[in-house]
Structure 1
Amino acid sequence: MKKFTRSKITQSIKFACYMGTAVTLLSPMANAAEVTNEGADNVERIQVTGSRIRSTDLQEFTPVQTISGAEIDTSSVANIQELLLKNPAFGSPGISRTNSNFSTSSAGVATVDLRNLGSSRTLVLVNGKRVVSGIPGSSAVDLNTIPAQFIERVEVISGGASAVYGSDALAGVVNIILKKDFEGLELEGQFGQSSEGDGEESQLQVTFGSTSADGKGNVMFHGSYTDQGAVFSRDRERSAVDQISLGRLTGDINDVFTPSRPFFSSFPPQGRFDAGDTRFTYDSAGNLINSFSTNGSDTQEANGFNRNAFRTIAIPTERYLLAGSANYEFTEGWVASLNGNYASSQTQTELEPFPFSTDDIYPVDGQAAIEYANFIENDAGEIEKIILRNAFVPDAIFDAATDTNGDGLKDISFARRLADIGPRGNIADRDSFQITASVEGELSDTWSLNAFYSYGQTKESQVSSGQINVLNFRSAFESVINPETGLAECRDEIARAQGCVPLSPFGEGSITPEAAAYVNASGLLSTFVSQKTAGVTFSGELFDLPAGTVGTAFGVDYREEFSRDEFDALQQAGLNAGNAIPRTEGKFDVIEYFGEVQVPLLADLPLVQRLDLKAAVRFSDYSTVGNTTSWDVGLNWAPIDEVKLRVVRAQSTRAPNIGELFSPPSQTFPSVTDPCVDVTLTSTGALDDACRADASVLSNIQANGGTFTLNQSDIQGVSGFNRGNPELKEEVGTSLVAGITYSPEGIPVLENFDFNFDYFDIEIEDAIVSTPRNFILDQCYGGDTTFCDFITRRNVSSATNSIGSLEFVDSAVTNSGGLETSGYDIVISYSKELEDYNLVGDLSSRLSYTHVIRNDVTPLPGSPVDPSNGEIGAAKDKFFLTSSYGYEDYAITWNMTYIGESYLDDQFLFNTFEAAPESAGVGSYIYHDVNVSYNPTENLELFAGVNNAFDKDPAPILTGVTGNSTGTETAAGIYDPIGRRWYAGFRMKF
């Protein structure tokens, strides 16, 4: 396609926006089912989610699932994410309050993921407008910034919608529609906690609205405060003690859901020390002993460390939210609006103290010298070599130590949990605001204009605790006794001048507060994300056909995105013994032309009550990937009034985000399975030969009695770097959605009955993926040696890690992936006044059910397809049933969430147990929530409820099993890790 001239397009859009702002301030585009101001003929023009056409004769093409404000009220959720995740169309969230405790950034953010295609492929809108991202480098919206009780409804569109809304809508759209034209004052408050006495949750909200005396203006304000308390791993029996799947130890798939506990860390607070051929530690009484047992035995107490005593299941989150709007009809048919919202949140993570070893300060050989050679000039002018001893090393360790690196000086190695420094964790303060100004009005009886400008930004300031300055630690460790004072001092003169404080790692509590302060290095993170959007849309009616009026919409949009995240200098260099994460900064802009048309083909004929055609196209010019095109075309057929059939075919695009494009190599610690485990000197096969061809793997085999063997630190100590790719192209997705709606008429018992069935099929080509590390390992040792460049094994052994163990497995993003999913949704709703059956009260119910037929991932072109359908987090069958009964001033609502049986990841099963897919899994899970309410007066409502009413335990997705959320002993983004929770509150309206 011919490339657009950016300067001309920029001029055109600026002119259009200036034209709108010259009239007045601008307002967001109308919401789904929003009724505009009446035109000269007093006829309503309507716009629905999934289209920009405003017409008097509009028919809905795109299937929409709606979550009403009443449903939000009866759920009493603090964050709309909690309710959306019950909808079966949504997959496992990328980030939530219960699965992000170990995140170095964005912990506690709340995102959603339609169809399990990724949060970046789910477009979240507010009032039909884009929202600034809550995660640096990403397009994912943080739902913590949306006030749940200020939401009128949420509409969910499945399938590609890029032709209407632009990039990121490959899986669909979540359109959050806020309340408007509110009159009066509403107060709401509630408190709750878990049945275990933790996870306290408080909410307080106020909403105010007023309309001018002439009815032309309206102002609204909403303020809310929520405080969700922490839930710690130690306070749930299943996760109170460090453990691992027994199957990871026995190799027996039948043991995969059985915990082996304790499975303590081999990094204890008292330290473990290797000197010569002897390993030392301290017992519980503080005595130095020459044996170490991580998990204990019949003859020795456990010397390991229980990490779960510090970990968090649910991150405490505190939020302040403000939202407001004002609109005024300044002349007949023209309305100016200003909308804004501000969110301030604080989250706090907590995890165990840092596991530190000599590998961190002496990375070459992992050996720490405890003897130091000083060279001085004596009185005779000769150079003398003076051997100094470490000031703190105990005699037993010193005597057992040997020279391991040939420099003539004794060395040891140690591993120690830095409990003296304190637990790790971070406190993150996030601030986000968005302001939108717009104008909309009638250009004529049949044409309207909508123009807007919006600016949003998100800032995060994070302080992390428990990190170490490895350079200072080395200087502090290399301490000697000053012969003049008899006191310990840092050996290096320059370090002493810079305030070095001697440090002893020998024994629990041996690090003094002064030494701890010297080596402590609080981590800092600063992020900034901004988004500017503007656009003009013209909508109207072209001409009449025998079947109705041809409607259209067209216009131009502009968007600019910027993102920056920057850790402190030590973190960027990896000198705090943690991940090396460099600064990331980038931006892009895009100019887009779009158009839609709806054509009524036939009407009022036998078996053709109505037949409409709809088509849309969007041409986009990105500063990064150039030109892209999105389109959709659909048919809507109503053979009779009670039945509507629809089919939509679409092509959608997603441009790479800033993180995918510009992220420099950043360190991570992934969970991988080493394919060389259990390879022996005599085992046969191509994989065995490839493993033994690596000299370090062969050395490991020879050192372990003829079998490649890893220790616990090897399994937990794999690192790697993720890289962005500025050469990325856009993703292209095609989708097909076909469905039927049945709403019977003339049958009294089915008067308010609706049945919807929709089939979806979504395929994404050139998907932007970070090549899976297990796939890299499998390819390298399966014959494709080009992947071996991403793998680094340790070529020496240390006190912590074995020779030949994996040190780094790197990965980078490419347009090499493919994603495919298909299935169908069924939504059934029914309501009835029971007096028709001589009963009392009103009954309503809605069932949302999703069955997934396939969910496939292709890591690279030509590689085997990895089917994830039916795996943990991607159950084939899910449903959500809500039923309410009301009588006079009382009401009760019962919600049921069903997650079908699910299996462990097939790659994990094969690599770990050589087991076939679906050979190990968990059964179906059902959660029940109940809410009751009472209205003692017209203006007061009292309510109470219980979530997870039967205290259903989560699936045992244990440590060591793919899908585990660290510290929870389950897949905490899928199964409820907290347990039964109750709440009670009130609503007052004036």
Structure 2
Amino acid sequence: MREKIISHSVRLICVGGAVLSLGATAQTTEAPMQTVQVTGSRIASPGAESPSPLQVLTSADIAASGATNLQELLMKNPTLGTPSVSRTNSNFSTSSAGVSTVDLRNLGTNRTLVLLNGRRFVAGIPGETAVDLNVIPTDFIERVELLTGGASATYGSDAVAGVVNIITKRNFTGLVLDVQGGQSTKHDDTKKKFTATWGTSNADATNNIMVHFGYSKQGAVYSKDRAASAIDQTSAFDETDLFRVTKPFYSSFAPQGRFFQADGSSFTYDRNGNIIPWNTNGTNGATPTGFNRSDFRSIAVPTDRYLLATTGTLALNDKHSVFFEGNYASTRVTTKLEPFGLGSEEIYEANGGQVPAEMLVGGVLRRNPYVPDRLYNNIEDTDGDGLRDYYFTRRMSEVGTRGSKANRDTFRLATGVKGTFNLLREWNYETYVAYGQTKESQSGNGQVNVLNFRNALEAYQDVNDVNNNNNRNEIICADATARAQGCVPINVFGFGTISPEALRYVNAPSSLNTAVTQKLAGGSINGEVFDLPAGAIGVAAGFEWRGEESSSEADALTQSGLNAGNALPPTFGKFNVKELFAEVRVPVLKDKPFVKELNFSAAARRGKYSTVGYTSSWNVGGEWSPIADVRIRATRALSTRAPNINELYQPAQQTFPADIVDPCEGITATGGGARGDACRAAPGVMANIMANGAFTLTQADQQGISGYDRGNPNLREEKGRSTTVGVVWTPRSIAPLKNFTFTADYFDIKIADTLVFMPRQYALENCYGGDGTLCNVITRRPEQMGANNAGSLEYIDSLVNNTGSTATEGVDLTASWVGAVGPGRLNARLAWTWLREGYDTPTPGAERDYWAGEIQQSPKNKASINLAYKWGPLGISGTTTHIGKAYLDDQFLAQFDLPRNSVGVGSRTYQDFQVTYEFRKKWEFYLGLDNAFNTKAPPIVTGLPGNTTGAETEAGAYDPIGRRYYLGLRATL
């Protein structure tokens, strides 16, 4: 049965002009032409030709890759960009760590629609639409079809960049067991996998059922175990060395603390409790006093998965049948990073982090006895209350490493009825309903309760025995209410000085619970209406209803920002959409001079969202074959993306923007045009001008700007216009090339009304000198603040708005051949993408921010070459993945007056191999080697754009782990 499935896939790929599968093309027996449905169209037709670029990966490709999850294989396809979330770039994520997403054309995961058997799948990230590929068992997949270009008219919102349609196996009979184990040559990144797939079917395959169970475990990779990331480092601009790497570059937040004196100097402690000068990186031969965070960080997060999947069909009669699909995935992910670095400004925010070294208790001055004399005698009153204050930073090692343990469960069930009916002609129909839910329960550690920490820092010796315990030497908390609630004084001076009792008082375990729910209902019909001289006109029409809901709720301390981290208020939102769609395919000419075949197709969709209202999408396409071996194809499409729940409903989250330039600075009582008039209209600004002669800012004013990022319920949909033009050459009439296929496709995608967070500087320019529509997001300090900071910027909020635009343009080339070579059979395939251009603009009229060729987005050239040779029971396959040279972000380089594409990294090429051996027809042994030549990832260190924290490279695009091998045994029973 497996051979029949593979043969069917080959037929589809050859006729469709897509990329040939390596493993699948080993079967070349021609099957009778079938009526099938291809991704990008709902019309089932002979040949399943697609006017849009379509690439296909089959189950044999997946098996030959040894991939544990589908993302590992898809990332080798050059049409895909760097994923926003993967196992190697999500260790610092506050949620959704270890999720595996895909990103077509580098346009964002939210613009790539992932389908399962042509239907939507529930998202794996709260508030978004990105599907977690971890939950799709690779051994259950028959093929994956990659449609690049707008497809919203066929599939609805989010298909602006294209569609990844995962097709599961059907009509499978028997039992397949697969056991695999492996690790890196550094003895980490361990991999264990066991899967069992069972299926049964009646003789004509009208009744069938398949069940799959899988377990996989992928181990951690720690930063300290790779030379490139074992020591904290940073990159700084140097005129002669460009971006010079400083290594080590330890953190100044150390476990023993750092304490600042009135003269600006600071000191710390050694392991014996002695006070020593502070020396972060050990200059001039001194012992380093800083902290190496890389000792604790992770490159790859450990991930455990349990997967259960099932599908089946039950015939009601010879024309109608019931089908179902079920998926359940349980994923366990653990993140780990260094202990929390605490600065006293996070406890005493209002007065710049100054901690009282002495306090008035009952009108009597009391000194905190934990504060050493050296510090006590060298600090001053900094907040005007007449009492001495000090400032400190400290790594909270006693609290332990930070991190989280996340339990993520995904459930989905789809069922429906499909079949045929006669209405003058035979028509196909399908109706379905589906329900899916992803839940994540996360527990975290390593944070502190800010309020309790403040109470614990304000302590004094109980000489008056206020506790009435006959102990006048103990140190107690100054606040009586805090004492009644269990306050324990805390000693932050030195290594391990925080007592277990104080630790329990200030410790703040965290939690996060998220849920994503998706409900679907839909139906469609397709068939032929009447015949033309060139063939029958095919049509399809249908409806869909979808409801999406998402929630994310952290613990109370995290919500309020009282655990020394960013405040994460709860997010909740939902929407629904009703849609109608139609499609037509018209054969215009056939078997005419210079027109072997000419077809026209069109599709349209009309939707009504509960959020953005009505939306429209359409596409038109055509295929022209001047001769049998050549097919020219083209499409033009308008696609839409409705805003997701986060973009609509994210509550205000505080941030502290940098590099803000106040357009009112320097404005005087007169002049300045429209900008001057708008500035003087603010009472605080005018008070400042009257006091200083011109609007004047202090350093504190410039560094004291805050603001809130929030969603926007008044958003509109994005609109993407895409054009693709391509040629398919299948020289079947040339004997030596009868199994050769070549495709070349040009793509051009432009997205308008892109959803972006409004740049704060843009809001300021709009308010002061523009049309003033954005003044409502700006808050200035009042005139009562006094001349020093009256009128200075206090808050600049940023909403998600439809102000941006995005574009990308390039060419895809593919070539494939299969045939006999010597005693065996060779399959060869090449896929190459040249990215000519890609850019974003955040606001109308703003300069383009070009990203094509940049490290954070995508190099201009990416390619993969696959070779597979089969000789009797022995097979060998190899995959070469090439990532072209890439450059640092041009906006970053501009800060140093460096031109675009002046600083970057060279190309990287990775080679994977797999050897298989079949014995007794039922058993297959396989051995694989990934990154066989141990190609090192380029150094993109801390301080450079594209750096993944803990990896010292762009870990989503390059391999930070190194050479890995695996062994496996597959049995077909």
Query: Please, what TM-score do these two structures have when normalized by structure 1?
Result: 0.87
What is the rounded CA distance, in whole Å, between the counterparts of 1:34 and 1:917 in structure 2? 44
Aligned residues, how many?
907
Q: Secondary structure at the match of 1:237?
A: coil
Of residues 247, 260, 268, the one that matches 2:254 is 268
- Call closer, same or farther: CA 1:266–1:805 in 2, change over 3 Å: farther
Letter in 2 for 1:363: E
Q: Which one is further off, 661-670 or 103-112?
A: 661-670
Letter in 2 for 1:870: G
- Call closer, same or farther: CA 1:254–1:395 in 2, change over 3 Å: closer
- Call closer, same or farther: CA 1:963–1:787 in 2, change over 3 Å: farther
Q: Residues 10-29 of structure 1 correspond to what in structure 2 (within 5 A)?
A: none
Does residue 1:621 correspond to 2:611, yes or no? no
Letter in 2 for 1:152: E
Tell me what 2:914 maps to: 931
- Call closer, same or farther: CA 1:827–1:213 in 2, change over 3 Å: closer
What is the rounded CA distance, in whole Å, between the counterparts of 2:501 and 2:138 in structure 1? 47
What is the rounded CA distance, in whole Å, between the counterparts of 1:808 and 1:180 in structure 2? 58
Shift in Å at residue 811 of structure 1? 3.6
What is the rounded CA distance, in whole Å, between the counterparts of 1:597 and 1:854 in structure 2? 33
Does residue 1:610 correspond to 2:564, yes or no? no
What is the rounded CA distance, in whole Å, between the counterparts of 1:200 and 1:777 in structure 2? 52
Is the contact between residue 32 and residue 49 of structure 1 (CA under 8 Å) also seen in structure 2?
A: no
Tell me what 1:701 maps to: none
Shift in Å at residue 519 of structure 1? 0.8
Letter in 2 for 1:184: G
Does residue 1:870 correspond to 2:853, yes or no? yes
Shift in Å at residue 286 of structure 1? 3.3
Q: Which one is further off, 448-457 or 52-61?
A: 52-61
Is the contact between residue 952 and residue 979 of structure 1 (CA under 8 Å) also seen in structure 2?
A: yes
Per-residue CA deviation, residues 447-490 of structure 1 (Å, 9 max, x unaligned), is: 12100000000000011110111001111111222223111122
What is the rounded CA distance, in whole Å, between the counterparts of 2:279 and 2:774 in structure 1? 38
Identity of aligned residues (%): 48
Per-residue CA deviation, residues 357-412 of structure 1 (Å, 9 max, x unaligned), is: 2101110121111111122xxxxxxxxx2111113112222222222222121111
Of residues 193, 206, 228, the one that matches 1:216 is 206
Q: Residues 40-79 of structure 1 correspond to what in structure 2 (within 5 A)?
A: 45-56=35-46, 59-79=49-69
What is the rounded CA distance, in whole Å, between the counterparts of 2:449 and 2:894 in structure 1? 41
Q: Secondary structure at the match of 2:283?
A: coil
- Call closer, same or farther: CA 1:266–1:65 in 2, change over 3 Å: same
What is the rounded CA distance, in whole Å, between the counterparts of 2:631 and 2:87 in structure 1? 41
Shift in Å at residue 300 of structure 1? 3.0
Tell me what 2:787 maps to: none
What is the rounded CA distance, in whole Å, between the counterparts of 1:967 and 1:788 in structure 2? 40
Tell me what 1:657 maps to: 644
Tell me what 1:327 maps to: 313
- Call closer, same or farther: CA 1:810–1:875 in 2, change over 3 Å: farther
Per-residue CA deviation, residues 787-808 of structure 1 (Å, 9 max, x unaligned), is: 999899999xxxxxxxx99998
Of residues 377, 380, 383, the one that matches 1:399 is 377
Shift in Å at residue 288 of structure 1? 4.0
Q: Residues 892-911 of structure 1 correspond to what in structure 2 (within 5 A)?
A: 892-911=876-895
- Call closer, same or farther: CA 1:331–1:668 in 2, change over 3 Å: farther
Per-residue CA deviation, residues 766-813 of structure 1 (Å, 9 max, x unaligned), is: 011124579889999999999999899999xxxxxxxx9999875431
Is the contact between residue 9 and residue 58 of structure 2 (CA under 8 Å) also seen in structure 1?
A: no
Per-residue CA deviation, residues 171-230 of structure 1 (Å, 9 max, x unaligned), is: 000001111111100000111111111111111111000124675311110011111111
Is the contact between residue 595 and residue 627 of structure 2 (CA under 8 Å) also seen in structure 1?
A: yes
Q: Secondary structure at the match of 1:401?
A: coil
Q: Residues 771-920 of structure 1 correspond to what in structure 2 (within 5 A)?
A: 771=758, 811-834=798-821, 839-872=822-855, 873-911=857-895, 913-920=896-903
Q: Which one is further off, 280-289 or 653-662?
A: 280-289
Is the contact between residue 33 and residue 47 of structure 1 (CA under 8 Å) also seen in structure 2?
A: no
Tell me what 1:235 maps to: 225
Q: Secondary structure at the match of 1:557?
A: strand
What is the rounded CA distance, in whole Å, between the counterparts of 1:555 and 1:989 in structure 2? 40
What is the rounded CA distance, in whole Å, between the counterparts of 1:50 and 1:647 in structure 2? 13
- Call closer, same or farther: CA 1:736–1:278 in 2, change over 3 Å: closer
Shift in Å at residue 960 of structure 1? 0.4
Tell me what 1:24 maps to: none
Is the contact between residue 280 and residue 397 of structure 1 (CA under 8 Å) also seen in structure 2?
A: no
Of residues 171, 179, 194, the one that matches 1:204 is 194
Of residues 517, 529, 554, the one that matches 2:541 is 554
Of residues 264, 267, 285, the one that matches 1:281 is 267
- Call closer, same or farther: CA 1:288–1:772 in 2, change over 3 Å: farther
Q: Residues 123-162 of structure 1 correspond to what in structure 2 (within 5 A)?
A: 123-162=113-152
Tell me what 1:411 maps to: 389
Q: Secondary structure at the match of 1:135?
A: coil
Shift in Å at residue 937 of structure 1? 2.2
Tell me what 2:749 maps to: 762
Tell me what 1:440 maps to: 418
What is the rounded CA distance, in whole Å, between the counterparts of 2:841 and 2:94 in structure 1? 29
Shift in Å at residue 310 of structure 1? 0.8
- Call closer, same or farther: CA 1:753–1:323 in 2, change over 3 Å: same
Structure 1 gaps of 5+ residues are 1-29, 36-41, 376-384, 681-685, 699-706, 796-803
Is the contact between residue 566 and residue 583 of structure 1 (CA under 8 Å) also seen in structure 2?
A: yes
Letter in 2 for 1:884: A
- Call closer, same or farther: CA 1:785–1:631 in 2, change over 3 Å: closer
Letter in 1 for 2:435: Y
Shift in Å at residue 982 of structure 1? 0.9
Letter in 2 for 1:409: L
What is the rounded CA distance, in whole Å, between the counterparts of 2:49 and 2:114 in structure 1? 23
Of residues 294, 300, 303, the one that matches 1:317 is 303
Letter in 2 for 1:927: Y
Is the contact between residue 31 and residue 128 of structure 1 (CA under 8 Å) also seen in structure 2?
A: no
Of residues 625, 639, 643, the one that matches 2:626 is 639
Per-residue CA deviation, residues 589-609 of structure 1 (Å, 9 max, x unaligned), is: 000010001111111111111
Per-residue CA deviation, residues 278-317 of structure 1 (Å, 9 max, x unaligned), is: 6443343334436312212115322111111111111111
Per-residue CA deviation, residues 99-126 of structure 1 (Å, 9 max, x unaligned), is: 1111111111111111111100000001
Tell me what 1:458 maps to: 438
What is the rounded CA distance, in whole Å, between the counterparts of 1:243 and 1:466 in structure 2? 23
Does residue 1:950 correspond to 2:933, yes or no? yes
What is the rounded CA distance, in whole Å, between the counterparts of 2:234 and 2:797 in structure 1? 26
Does residue 1:166 correspond to 2:151, yes or no? no
- Call closer, same or farther: CA 1:791–1:187 in 2, change over 3 Å: farther
Tell me what 1:21 maps to: none
What is the rounded CA distance, in whole Å, between the counterparts of 2:622 and 2:191 in structure 1? 47
Tell me what 1:25 maps to: none
Letter in 1 for 2:872: E
Shift in Å at residue 718 of structure 1? 9.9
Q: Residues 343-492 of structure 1 correspond to what in structure 2 (within 5 A)?
A: 343-365=329-351, 366-375=353-362, 385-444=363-422, 445-483=425-463, 484=465, 485=471, 486-492=473-479
Q: Secondary structure at the match of 1:298?
A: helix
Shift in Å at residue 79 of structure 1? 1.1
Tell me what 1:723 maps to: 710
Shift in Å at residue 673 of structure 1? 6.1
Of residues 183, 188, 211, the one that matches 2:178 is 188
What is the rounded CA distance, in whole Å, between the counterparts of 1:668 and 1:460 in structure 2? 25
Letter in 2 for 1:459: K
Q: Secondary structure at the match of 2:195?
A: strand
What is the rounded CA distance, in whole Å, between the counterparts of 2:557 and 2:9 in structure 1? 47
What is the rounded CA distance, in whole Å, between the counterparts of 2:246 and 2:763 in structure 1? 30
What is the rounded CA distance, in whole Å, between the counterparts of 2:544 and 2:748 in structure 1? 28
Query: Please, what TM-score do these two structures have when normalized by structure 2?
Result: 0.88
